[in-house]
Amino acid sequence: MIINHPLLGPRDAQEFTYLGDANLINRPDWQAEDAVDQFHEYLYQRDNPAGKHRELWYHEAGDRSWLVVTRDTLTHEITGVELARDVALKSGRGK
Amino acid sequence: MSYSGWRVIKEALSGHKGWKPAWRDPVPASDYDFVIIGGGGHGLATAYYLAREYRAKRIAVIEKGWIGGGNVGRNTTIIRSNYLLDGNEPFYEFSLKLWEGLEQDFNYNAMVSQRGILNLIHSDAQRDAFTRRGNAMILNGADAEMLSVEQIRQRYPFLNFNNARFPIKGGLAQHRGGTVRHDAVAWGYARGADRLGVDIIQNCEVTGFRIKGGICSGVETTRGFIGAKKVGCAVAGSSGRLMAQAGMRLPIESHVLQAFVTEGLKPVLPGVVTFGAGHFYVSQSDKGGLVFGGDLDGYNSYAQRGNLPTVEDVCEGGMALMPAIGRARLLRMWGGIMDMSMDGSPIIDKTHIDGLYFNGGWCYGGFKATPASGWCFAHLLATDKPHEVATAYRFDRFKRGYMIDEKGQGAQPNLH
């Protein structure tokens, strides 16, 4: 698989390590009333779709950026690559 | 019709005209007491033990393709019970004992071969860990023996003993482990279940569950609605897809694991050997091919095929352990989809929906578990209580903090 890095261009997937579903960016609020339930969902439960999947890849053997890759789990086709930082900021993190 | 040596001779003398299909091809009834989704090893075993051990009637197994066409036909056929933790070892030892009597039990030649499995040791820390594991196995009634380098050299002289980085320092052997003819397991259970009156319905895909007021009353399929008092799902590899139809999220990711077979060779490898430094394991099939595998590709996939970097990685592991393997040509390779759970251990449990039961999360240990998985799932379906060797395999163990994490990797499914 070739991951088209937004800053570095096409890179072999071997340079990356895989973490999982991009929802892992959205860490729950630890002070919420139901924080235990929320963290259980966050840490252990997965949508695990057959089809389009947004997922976190880490460019370990490269610039060490975290990427959000949109990939089809049925065909391995990659249709989108974003910097995880941009995704996080867009969703309101860092405010 | 029972199979036996006499039967083979009789048929040979009469032109083989008396053989009948090993199972029927029934039209689905409108409702059953038990519907098992998934005609793989686990689903067929569940139906078989439900009928035989729990005297259940009106059972159907529903399979979207043909039976045995999924992971039971795509694995590397190894059986063993060399686990460490209390939640696992009694279960896998129960499974291994069932394997030992399986062929007589269901009257089918599954070619169970207890040729032994050897986990190699390359460091002092690994020796300590494997000694502990061996003791845990013995405490649970399994067999385990620590072998010296000399003992290993006698049996496997062609291994790379003097690898500068990862010399072989010993090994943990389980002599009762071995290999089984994987397809025959599915066929044997199918035939056994069919003879006990189970309907095996192929080419029948489940398209939804009928759930009202928190109660599941049957399944919608491509061959119409089939009612059921209890529905058991045993579709490891596709669990995420199936259970999404019941609105469930699971502590599971689907990953692809590749396996490989070389061209047929004369007998060279008497047992199963696993490399302790990289992830690589190898055995020789009865046809002569070296069957081997290694790590997952590492990313979510339902594609049943992997990518070349993992092929290279696995073959490098093979070359490091057993340099002679480089002279064999790779004949086939394929990928299977694993239910990778959050702690590397399976789930056999009720769901929050009445009448809906789940069996999955087998990671890449599903094949060896087939008999015990079927038995324990049948027990759960028949009695609504977990079998005594499967009490730890619950959905809520993650929330309660009772993970069964053999490798200690945490909630990172691609590392288990």
Binary contact (B303, A73; C-beta < 8 A)? yes
- Counting residues of chain B whose pLDDT is more than 90, the rounded percentage is 98
B304 in contact with chain A, both atoms CB, cutoff 8 A: no
Read off the amino acid at residue B57.
K
Which residues in chain A have Cβ-Cβ distances shorter than 8 Å to B307? 1, 13, 76
B240 pLDDT tier (thresholds 50, 70, 90):
very high
On whether residue A54 sits in a domain, the answer given is yes
What is chain B's mean pLDDT, rounded? 96
Among A54, A67, A73, the residue to mutate for chain B (most B Cβ within 10 A): A73
A92 pLDDT tier (thresholds 50, 70, 90):
confident
In DSSP terms, A55 is beta-bridged to A21, A69
Choose among B113, B111, B119: nearest CA to B82. B119
Nearest CA in chain B to A42: B251
Interface residues from chain A to B (CB-CB < 8 Å): 1, 12-14, 17-21, 36, 40-41, 43-50, 53, 55, 71, 73-76
Three-state DSSP class for residue B133:
helix
Binary contact (A48, B309; C-beta < 8 A)? no
Which residues in chain B have Cβ-Cβ distances shorter than 8 Å to A53? 300
Q: What torsion, rounded to 10 degrees, do the Cα atoms B312, B314, B319, B321 define?
A: 160
Q: Collect all residues with Cβ–Cβ distance below 8 Å to A83 and sequence separation of at least 6.
A: A6, A7, A65, A66, A67, A68
Stretch B174-196: mean pLDDT: 98
CATH code, domain carrying B103:
3.50.50.60
What's the confidence (pLDDT) of residue B1?
A: 78
CATH code, domain carrying B291:
3.30.9.10
Distance CA B358, CA B245 (A): 13
Do B218 and B267 fall into the same domain?
Answer: no
Structural domains of chain A, count: 1
Among A48, A54, A68, the residue to mutate for chain B (most B Cβ within 10 A): A48
Binary contact (B302, A45; C-beta < 8 A)? no
B386 in contact with chain A, both atoms CB, cutoff 8 A: no
A93 pLDDT tier (thresholds 50, 70, 90):
confident
A94 pLDDT tier (thresholds 50, 70, 90):
confident
Three-state DSSP class for residue B387:
coil
Distance CA A11, CA A25 (A): 23
The predicted model scores a pTM of: 0.96
Residue A95 pLDDT more than 90? no
Q: Half-sphere exposure of residue B216, counting CA atoms within 13 Å on the CB side?
A: 28
On whether residue A86 sits in a domain, the answer given is yes
Binary contact (A40, B399; C-beta < 8 A)? yes
Q: Of B285, B306, B341, which marks where a domain is finished? A: B341
Do B393 and B352 fall into the same domain?
Answer: yes
C-alpha distance from B304 to closest chain A C-alpha (Å): 8
Binary contact (B398, A14; C-beta < 8 A)? no
Inter-residue contact A57 to A9 (CB < 8 Å): no
Structural domains of chain B, count: 2
CATH code, domain carrying A60:
3.30.2270.10
Binary contact (A45, B251; C-beta < 8 A)? yes
On whether residue B7 sits in a domain, the answer given is no
In whole angstroms, how far apart are CA B289 and each of B286, B316, B390? 8, 18, 35
Distance CA B340, CA B280 (A): 18
For residue range A12-44, what is the model confidence (pLDDT) as tens digits?
999 999 999 999 999 999 999 999 999 999 999
Stretch A53-82: mean pLDDT: 97
Binary contact (A55, B298; C-beta < 8 A)? no
On whether residue A31 sits in a domain, the answer given is no
What phi, psi does B194 have (nearest 5°)? Answer: -60, -40
On whether residue A32 sits in a domain, the answer given is no
Domain that holds residue B149: 117-178+253-341
What's the confidence (pLDDT) of residue B98?
A: 98
What's the confidence (pLDDT) of residue B226?
A: 98
For residue range B355-406, what is the model confidence (pLDDT) as tens digits?
999 999 999 999 999 999 999 999 999 999 999 999 999 999 999 999 999 9
Choose among B96, B129, B130: nearest CA to B113. B96
Give residue B260's Cα distance to chain centre.
Answer: 17
Distance CA B251, CA B395 (A): 8
What's the confidence (pLDDT) of residue B108?
A: 97
Do B36 and B104 fall into the same domain?
Answer: yes
B395 in contact with chain A, both atoms CB, cutoff 8 A: no
Do B353 and B376 fall into the same domain?
Answer: yes
Domain that holds residue A52: 2-26+37-90
On whether residue B2 sits in a domain, the answer given is no
On whether residue A65 sits in a domain, the answer given is yes
In DSSP terms, B206 is beta-bridged to B221
Binary contact (A55, B299; C-beta < 8 A)? yes
Read off the amino acid at residue B156.
Y
Do B227 and B329 fall into the same domain?
Answer: no
